[in-house]
Structure 1
Amino acid sequence: MEYLGHLIEEKCSQKLWNPVKSSQGGLFFSHVMFADDVVLFAKADQGNCVAIRDALDTFCSRTGQTISEAKSRVFFSPNVDRDTRQALCGVLGFASNPNLGKYLRIPIKHTGSPMDVNFILDRVKQKLAGWKANLLSPAGRTVLIQASSSTIPTYVMQCALLPNKILEGIDRVNRNFLWGSSETARKIHWVVWNKVTKPKKVGGLGLQSAKGRNIALLTKLNWRLHTENDSLWARVIKAKYCSTRRINSRNPSSLPCSQTWKGIKKAQIYSGKELDG
């Protein structure tokens, strides 16, 4: 994959490949790689698509690797007309798709609607449904909540503020499992959840509430944004949401933003780290 990166950089240096900007005045992107997944960025025209196809063909011929056309898709800007899309797809050899889909169950591109995270609550329910709470001691149930169900939404919580409905649902499922309640049999909850989620040294069980865990992870992300100044993701976020043009707009808070930035802004209230934008 490193060799493919060199091929792409060579095309860009020769002005054959025009990368795209993350925002006005932001960084240019030509590709992003993670493991064996590659996302390519370029201006939607004939020249760029020929350069992309040439780089991919060169990489495959010299390494012996092949591209999975069934798993590869092209995503165009809404400004690109239908005829142009068909012509460019013919050059690239990949089909067009209006939806980027999901990566690790998280939607890659968010529209104006809230991010669909209902799958998190469903996964927690399915996980706990496979265990028979009546056969476990309260201590055993506590360990399972800490080690399993509480960690399922962690990945999403690190980059987005989940809706209160989802957070409350996760707490409800964990709470019912702790006390042995189910849809058919209701058990008494002898201690309120606010006390259960307190640290052990003050009388709680050390469990974390879903909202507390979400805020803690976003606060950590906010801290990383302030300390990892040279990291690529921090530079992209700051260039997009902390630019002078955005700050000087009439109402910066009303401008559209990503779920990640919304989460960081929410975490600022708790961390005391204020950012403009």
Structure 2
Amino acid sequence: MPTPSHMLFADDIFIFTNASIRYVRNLKSFLIMYEECSGQHISLEKSKVFLGNISAAKKLVIGEKMGIPICSLPTKYLGVEIFKGRVKKEFLLPVLDKVKARLADWKGRLLSMAGRVELARTVVTGIPMHSFSVYWWSSELIKIMEKWIHNFI
């Protein structure tokens, strides 16, 4: 069988399990067996463990057993803020700031109307697209972004 000339990797996954030491040990064994069977390496330093309401001592034990850093919410995942509860405006502000900064960078340039429309259509509207697929944005925030794009054009 020919060997691939590039590195293969699995997509990101979420694994939910009971926080008992037995389950944690089984999960660690499963991950080791997966690596052995697939030939793929799990990057534990890039992984994250989120734990619910358990004692700090138990969290420490689980973190040591897994070899994965323990994190808490909010955190970023694939460039999108992951948090507990409802979508709050302050979690979406970084995306809006990115759109505003991009438009401000282009504002002083001598661009034709068609060039401005194309930049807004392809680049600016693509910035929040992943966030749109994860979260419901309020109409207020969308109107603000539309106003900025309209003013740019």
Which ranges in structure 2 are unaligned for 5 or more consecutive residues? Answer: 1-8
Letter in 2 for 1:174: I
Q: Output the aligned Cα RMSD.
A: 2.5
Which runs of structure 2 are paired with 1:151-230 in the superposition (5 Å)?
A: 151-178=126-153
Letter in 2 for 1:88: I
Q: Contact 2:49–2:70 at 8 Å: present in 1 too?
A: yes
SS across alignment from 2:59: helix
* CA deviations over 1:94-123 (Å, ceiling 9, x no partner): 232122622232223323561600122112
1:172, 1:38 → 2: CA distance? 37
SS across alignment from 1:37: coil
Q: Contact 2:28–2:66 at 8 Å: present in 1 too?
A: yes
Q: 2:79 aligns to what?
A: 105
Q: 1:114 aligns to what?
A: 88
Kindly, what percent of the aligned residue pairs are identical? 27
Q: Contact 1:101–1:107 at 8 Å: present in 2 too?
A: yes
Shift of 1:44: 0.6
Shift of 1:176: 1.7
Shift of 1:90: 2.3
Q: Contact 1:120–1:153 at 8 Å: present in 2 too?
A: yes
Larger RCO (CA under 8 A, 6+ residues apart): 2
2:13, 2:34 → 1: CA distance? 13
1:140, 1:75 → 2: CA distance? 45
Change (3 A) 1:77 1:61: same
Q: With the length of structure 2 as denominator, give the TM-score of the two structures.
A: 0.77
1:100, 1:125 → 2: CA distance? 23
SS across alignment from 2:13: strand
Larger Rg: 1
1:161, 1:64 → 2: CA distance? 39
Q: Contact 1:49–1:91 at 8 Å: present in 2 too?
A: yes
Q: Contact 1:133–1:141 at 8 Å: present in 2 too?
A: no
Shift of 1:61: 2.7
User: Which deviates further from its counterpart, 49-58 or 148-157?
Assistant: 148-157
Q: With the length of structure 1 as denominator, give the TM-score of the two structures.
A: 0.46
* CA deviations over 1:136-163 (Å, ceiling 9, x no partner): 2223222222222123222222343323
1:169, 1:155 → 2: CA distance? 18
Change (3 A) 1:132 1:114: closer
2:46, 2:39 → 1: CA distance? 18
Shift of 1:130: 3.2
- Residues paired across the two proteins, number: 144
Q: 1:52 aligns to what?
A: 27
